[in-house]
Every structure is written in structure tokens, then in C-alpha cells.
A and B are shown apart, each in its own frame.
Chain A
Amino acid sequence: MKVVIVGCGRVGAVLAEAFEKAGNDVIILDRSTGAFDKLPSTFRGNAVRGDGTDEDVLRRAGAQDADVFLALTEGDNRNVMAAQLATEALNVGRVLAKVNDPVRAAAYADLGLATICRTNLMEDTILGFAGLSTAQRPPILAPQGTHPGGEHHRAEAEPAAATSEA
């Protein structure tokens, strides 16, 4: 499988290593080359310095047609945009965006984008640890995400256009 990871933080780096060990081709992007120090010295995948919300950068890194695309930077909006770019423009199979704001995580899950929310995860886990009841939210919202994006909107827009023509 071709796996693209945007954001080489702790999570991005360990996942890059794990996916590579499992025999996948890994491309990892970060805006700072220093971030790649977190990768093990044995990492043979492709570490690319660049903005993962820039289509040209992603294409140059070879992200198109990837099987898995993980947007894991520290910026919710950057993740959401990179993930939507991957779905709409790069023909990527499965896409996941980390969105730490619970409101945004739920809103984008409603739009069909698979999201993982650290705030929800930690809240539920810690409440469970303390023996309190939790919201029992799934760790990944809309995991089968088939992002409807523009189609969703075009479907809404068409009747309006037809009315204005008539």
C-alpha cells in the first residue's frame, strides 16, 4: 500500500515507522525538516519538507492515488483541508483527519470525512479510567467516510439553478 502522512509529530512518526515495518510505501510530509528527527534512522520511506495543504507539494511528493492518507498536523484546519484535497483532487482511497475541536470533528464527520478527535478520545478514556460513565463515542467518526464535498452541494444547487432558468 501507498501511505501518505501529513505532519511528522510523535503520532505521525510512530505511524510512519509502523506502516513501513508492515511493508508499505510511506511518504511523510512536514513543514519543518527538524520534525523528521523523530523518524528512526532506519526509515527508508520518503520524507518531504513542504505544506501538506498545497496540491502542488502533495503531487510532487507523489501523494496521488495513495491507498491511505492521514492528516495529523497540529492544526485542525490544515488537516481538514489536506484531507479534503486528498479526497477531491488526489484520488486517494481512505482518508483520515485529526480534528481536535469536537465541534469541528463532528461537523466534518457529518459531511462524510473520517475524523479522529484527541479531545473526545482522552475525555472518554480518562472518564472511563476514573470509573465515570462516558459518551461511548467511537474512536473514529464516520470511519467509512466517502466525502461528498461538492457533489453534496451541487445536488442542492441544481434545483435552484433550474428554478431561476424557468
Chain B
Amino acid sequence: MFVLVVGGGKVGYYLAKELVESGHEVVLMEKDHARADQIADEIGSIVIAHDGCEGKYLAEAGANRADIVAAVTGDDEDNLVICQMAKHHFDVPRTIARVNNPKNEELFKHLGVDELISPTRMILGSIEQDIPVHELLHLGSLGGSDLELIEAPLLPGSPAIGRAPRDLEIPEGCSLFAVVREGRAVPLRPDTILAEGDKVIAIGRAECEAALHGQLIGNAEPVG
């Protein structure tokens, strides 16, 4: 398999190195000459010291016969253009782009990049998995007081589902005042019936958190 790697940063360097070691034909493009020389010293003369965004140099690197082009520079706009040029100008069957801003994923997919790797998204996903979602979330404290702004997601098993605030035993020093439902926050009235998926916004002192937890979260199982 002939793989054209564009971008000789850490990702491009180790990618090229691993691919060479596993017996693939690899060309690496890196526009910084000093960096290109350094890589060539380490993994051999597979480096082209030119800008992989330029059509002329992509052609020199053999883009027209590449099976895969992997654009792994640190700049999203460069990675997009490399993949689009590879795809449309050189008919490369498979293009892979590194995406730093996760918001760009949809656009890149829409514009025909075959595969996207987003380190930001991966790390984000890993962090989010570690945050227990069956807990009260602290949104902030109110200036100089000991009052906390708290969000309680109502997951299956929450004792508050199907009940209204007036039917709950809300601890002293604490009040429920809004609910976020389908992405919209609305004021909570004493007779609003709470539903699964609601996020209840409460305000209260730290010491009533345990009681609030019992009323709103209960023994709900964590999700995921």
C-alpha cells in the first residue's frame, strides 16, 4: 500500500515510521526544510521538503498513485485542502484528515473527506466518560454567599419523575426554580410535573445537598 503522509510533526513522523516498519511504501511531505532533513536522517529518504498543499508538489510526491493520503498537519484548513486536492485533483481513493476543532468534523465530512481523526474529540470523550452523570452538577456559587447553583439531571429511577415540586420534600434553605426541558429553560412552578430527561435547576446551601440528592437523583443508575 502506498501512503502519502502530509505534515511532519509528531503525528506525521510516528505515523510514517510505523508504516515504514510494517512494510508499506510511504512518502512524507514536510515544508520546513530543517524538520524534513531531521526526519530523513531518522527514517530514511522518504521525505519531500515541500508544502503538501501545493498541487505541483503533491504531483511530485506521487499523489496520483497514492492509495491513501493522510493529512496530519496542525492546521485544519491545510488538512482540508490537502484532502480535497487529493480527492478531486488526484483521485485518491481514501483520504484521512486530522481535525483539531471538533466543530469542523461535519464540514469536512460534508466536503468529501473520507475519514476524520479528532484528538480533541477523543480526549473530550474520554473525560466525559469519567464524569458521573448521575450526580448533582455545580453550576456556580452566588457572589460571596454560601448559596450554590445546582443542576440535577432526572434520569430513569429518579423519584422526582412524574411528580411536581410541591410533592417533593425540598430541604430547608433550598429551592427549585427552573427546569431545562428539550434544551429550553423555563421557570418551575409548584405544580409543574417533572419528566425524565429534565434538568432541574436549584439553589441552596451546601449542607442540604444530600437531601436534595435523595429527592431528585435517588438511586438512579449512572448512564453509560
Contact = CB atoms under 8 A, between A and B. Distances in A.
A76 B111 contact: no
Interface in B79-116: 80-81, 84-85, 88-89, 101, 103-104, 106-107, 109-112
Contacts of B88: 107, 110-111
Contacts of A60: none
Interface in A63-107: 75-78, 80-81, 84-85, 88-89, 101, 103-104, 107
A77 B104 CA distance: 14
A77 B80 contact: yes
Nearest to B113: A153
A104 B81 contact: yes
Q: How large is the interface on B (under 10, 10 to 19, 20 to 34, 35 or more residues)?
A: 20 to 34
B55 interface: yes
Nearest to A56: B103
A152 interface: yes
B111 to A, nearest CB: 5
Contacts of B78: 77
A53 B56 CA distance: 25
A30 to B, nearest CB: 15
Contacts of A81: 76-77, 80-81
A40 B84 CA distance: 38
Nearest to B53: A77
Greatest chain B CB density within 10 A among A85, A103, A149 is at A103
By DSSP majority rule, is chain A's interface helix, strand, loop, or mixed? helix
Contacts of A111: 84, 88
A110 B84 CA distance: 12
B13 to A, nearest CB: 22
A97 B168 CA distance: 59
A99 to B, nearest CB: 10
Contact of B75 (A56, A76, A77, A107): A77
B80 A80 contact: yes
Nearest to A73: B77
A54 interface: yes
Given A88-B107, A107-B88, A80 B81 contact: yes
B81 A53 contact: no
Nearest to B79: A77
Given A55-B103, A89-B107, A107-B88, A101 B55 contact: yes
Interface of B: 53-56, 75-78, 80-81, 84-85, 88-89, 101, 103-104, 106-107, 109-112
Interface of A: 53-56, 75-78, 80-81, 84-85, 88-89, 101, 103-104, 107-108, 110-111, 149-150, 152-153
17 contacts: A53-B76, A55-B104, A55-B107, A76-B53, A77-B81, A80-B80, A80-B84, A81-B76, A89-B107, A104-B54, A104-B55, A107-B84, A107-B89, A111-B84, A149-B112, A150-B109, A153-B112
Given A54-B103, A85-B107, 13 more contacts: A53-B76, A76-B53, A77-B53, A77-B77, A77-B80, A80-B80, A80-B81, A80-B84, A88-B111, A89-B106, A107-B85, A149-B112, A150-B112
